[in-house]
């Protein structure tokens, strides 16, 4: 076995607090399983702006107690380097995944051991509540143990800065630099005077605030089916519905309790095909008119609506347009701004312009969207991956307040003899059809992921001249910046007046994505425009699949 690898493994074992993980690595050393040790050590998890996310396993390539300790020591050193007062406290939370409670305990222990004040969430709760508490408590930082919508074998570590938003460069680089040189951690105990649990009154303030903003004007007749997809949103979300006047809520019983195995789902992501199958079955039986789904940490919102005798799953962009349509007049009156990302639909910009509202386009991710307003208040932001911010008290996406906002709009429309689908028709009749779709190619293993990334670089360096028969009129390498934005991996391909494509590697999962928007000529009926856009989209996606497949 490679001597350098052996020494690296032995150094890791010496600092690993978990007996089972130490035994696993020791056994691999004893059997000279160099290939498996290389997998666990030569592709380590690194701290990025999404924090850490990866499979639970021993070694630096996995989420485990040692990785969490190193990361937390890195966070403490980062706070010291940027001169944030640790006495302001760190909010610590967790979701319901396997390992989350153990990793939460490690974070709390390491923070207390270094003299940091800790505000711990009282149980497994949604991610947006951590973001809310960071702002409400004026804390120094927030740490959430979650892998959001990743596969069951994954877990993760999300870091919020003192403004309640996810960190941005160079903060991630500082945390990673210190984590790489982290030594042994000294753990503190919860009986320390530095430790307290986030009070129930603060969580109640969140509920009261969002219900005050988004609620039925009278006892609602809207029939809702809700699922938290085996995540932690169930109890909080059903209480919010009840407080907001939505009494006709049916839950998907088999998906209501937190379960890190996600037994009814292939991927616990409301975007994935089939993720809402059980909800549709439940909603059909209950005669509901709308399905609302949160992802496992409740920071995303998925939705489906009745369309005759069938169900139509709404795209993230469509939900974004609907929410914006109900909020934008108030945003204008208050002088607030709206924002979306370069991979989301361009319709929101047109809506903002028509209402004389300041609009910003950002890179992908709520770490950018949350800060897009500058000195103004961000009244609304969304990204097509089912992330929505409808209230400035949470500087991140929030699938719970967004769920209430969507239910409130659906109820208001129904009371006036209309519907969410009719509102979508009104929006596209006004601003034009904007057909958005995406191609996602998942990597099975690091070698395939590297090949997929190479495909993105190949398209960046040698962009196609046509896609699906449509001429590529413009290409921009996002790594050198794009229209004033910071650099990021990927390429933007313009299709003239027909639309655009953005190709980029996912920031949170082992996949590459291509985001397509088609804007057909405004000729003929709305249905004809949509049909034309669908044909163009299909042809372009076929071309993209050929370019990106490995």
Q: What pTM, to 2 d.p., does this model score?
A: 0.95
Catalytic residue among 100, 148, 220, 326: 148
Chain centroid offset of residue 474 CA = 29
Q: Is the pLDDT of residue 285 over 80?
A: yes
549 is an active site residue: no
Whole-angstrom Cα distance, residue 512 to residue 137? 38
Among 499, 428, 446, 441, CA closest to 470: 499
Across all residues in the chain, what is the average pLDDT? Answer: 96
Average pLDDT over residues 351-364: 97
In percent, the amount of the chain with pLDDT more than 70 equals 99
Query: Can you spell out the DSSP letters for 461-530?
Result: HS--SEETTEE--EEEEGGG-BTTBPP-S-EEEE-GGGEEEEEEE-SSSSEEEEEEEE---S-S-HHHHH
Confidence of residue 550 (pLDDT cuts 50, 70, 90): confident
* Nearest one of 70, 76, 52 to 12, comparing CA atoms: 70
Question: Is 42:8 a contact under the CB 8 Å cutoff?
Answer: no
Confidence label for 8 from pLDDT (cuts 50, 70 and 90): very high
Whole-number pLDDT of residue 509? 67
Whole-number pLDDT of residue 510: 74
pLDDT at 232 over 90: yes
Residue 50's pLDDT band, with cuts at 50, 70 and 90, is confident
Confidence bin at 449 (pLDDT 50/70/90): confident
What is the predicted pLDDT for the residue at 508?
65
Rounded average pLDDT over 287-314: 97
Distance separating the N- and C-terminal Cα atoms of the chain: 31
CATH of domain 435-548: 3.30.310
User: Do the Cβ atoms of 385 and 374 come closer than 8 Å?
Assistant: no
At the fourth CATH level, which superfamily is domain 200-431?
A: Alpha-D-Glucose-1,6-Bisphosphate, subunit A, domain 3 (3.40.120.10)
What sign does the CA torsion over 210, 216, 217, 218 have? Answer: negative
Q: How far is CA 455 from the centre of its chain?
A: 25
Give ranges for CATH 3.30.310 in the chain: 435-548
Q: pLDDT tens digits for 498-515? A: 999 999 987 666 788 999
φ and ψ at residue 325, rounded to 5 degrees: -65, -30
Identify the CATH number of the domain defined by range 43-198.
3.40.120.10
Predicted local confidence at residue 161, as pLDDT: 97
Q: Residue 178 has what pLDDT? A: 97
What are the start and end residues of each CATH 3.40.120.10 domain in the chain? 43-198, 200-431
Report pLDDT for 456: 87
């Amino acid at each position: 076995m490679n001597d350098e690898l052996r020494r690296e493994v032995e150094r890791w074992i010496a600092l690993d607090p978990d007996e089972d993980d130490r035994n696993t690595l020791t056994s691999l050393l004893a059997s000279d399983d160099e290939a498996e040790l290389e997998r666990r050590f030569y592709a380590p998890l690194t701290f990025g702006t999404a924090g850490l996310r990866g499979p639970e396993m021993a070694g630096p390539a996995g989420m485990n107690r040692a990785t969490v300790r190193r990361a937390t020591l890195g966070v403490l050193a980062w706070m010291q380097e940027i001169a944030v007062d640790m006495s302001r406290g760190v909010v610590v939370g967790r979701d319901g995944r396997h390992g989350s409670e153990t990793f939460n305990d490690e974070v709390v222990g390491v923070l207390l051991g270094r003299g940091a004040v800790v505000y711990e969430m009282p149980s497994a709760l949604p991610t947006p509540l951590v973001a809310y508490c960071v702002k409400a408590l004026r804390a120094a930082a927030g740490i959430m143990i979650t892998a959001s919508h990743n596969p069951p074998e994954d877990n993760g570590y999300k870091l919020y800065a003192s403004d309640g938003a996810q960190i941005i460069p160079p903060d991630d680089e500082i945390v990673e630099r210190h984590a790489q040189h982290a030594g042994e951690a000294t753990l503190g105990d919860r009986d320390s005077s530095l430790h307290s649990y986030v009070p129930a009154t603060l969580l109640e303030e969140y509920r009261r605030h969002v219900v005050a903003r988004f609620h039925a004007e009278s006892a609602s007749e809207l029939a809702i089916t809700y699922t938290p997809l085996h995540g932690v949103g169930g109890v909080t979300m059903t209480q919010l519905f009840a407080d907001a006047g939505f009494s006709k809520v049916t839950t998907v019983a088999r998906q209501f309790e937190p379960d890190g195995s996600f037994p009814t789902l292939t991927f616990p992501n409301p975007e994935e095909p089939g993720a809402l199958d059980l909800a549709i079955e439940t909603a059909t039986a209950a005669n509901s008119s709308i399905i609302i789904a949160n992802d496992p940490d409740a920071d995303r919102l998925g939705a489906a609506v009745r369309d005759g005798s069938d169900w139509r799953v709404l795209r993230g962009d469509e939900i974004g347009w609907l929410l914006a349509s109900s909020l934008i007049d108030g945003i204008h009156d208050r002088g607030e701004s709206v924002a979306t990302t370069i991979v989301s639909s361009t319709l929101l910009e047109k809506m903002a312009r028509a209402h004389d509202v300041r609009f910003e386009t950002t890179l992908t991710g709520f770490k950018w969207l949350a800060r897009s307003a500058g000195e103004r208040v961000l009244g609304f932001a969304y990204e097509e991956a089912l992330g929505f911010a409808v209230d400035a008290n949470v500087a991140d996406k929030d699938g719970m307040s967004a769920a209430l906002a969507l239910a409130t709009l659906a109820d208001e429309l129904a009371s006036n003899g209309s519907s969410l689908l009719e509102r979508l028709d009104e929006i596209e009749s006004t601003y034009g059809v904007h057909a958005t779709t995406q191609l996602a190619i998942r990597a099975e293993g690091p070698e395939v992921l590297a090949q997929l990334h190479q495909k993105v670089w190949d398209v960046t360096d040698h962009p196609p001249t046509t896609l699906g028969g449509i001429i590529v009129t413009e290409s921009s390498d996002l790594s050198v910046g794009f229209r004033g934005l910071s650099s990021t991996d990927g390429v933007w391909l313009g299709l003239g007046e027909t639309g655009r494509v953005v190709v980029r590697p996912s920031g949170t999962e082992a996949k590459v994505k291509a985001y397509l928007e088609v804007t057909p000529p405004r000729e003929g009926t709305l249905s004809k425009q949509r049909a034309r856009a669908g044909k163009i989209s299909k042809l372009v996606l076929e071309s993209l699949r050929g370019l990106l497949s490995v």
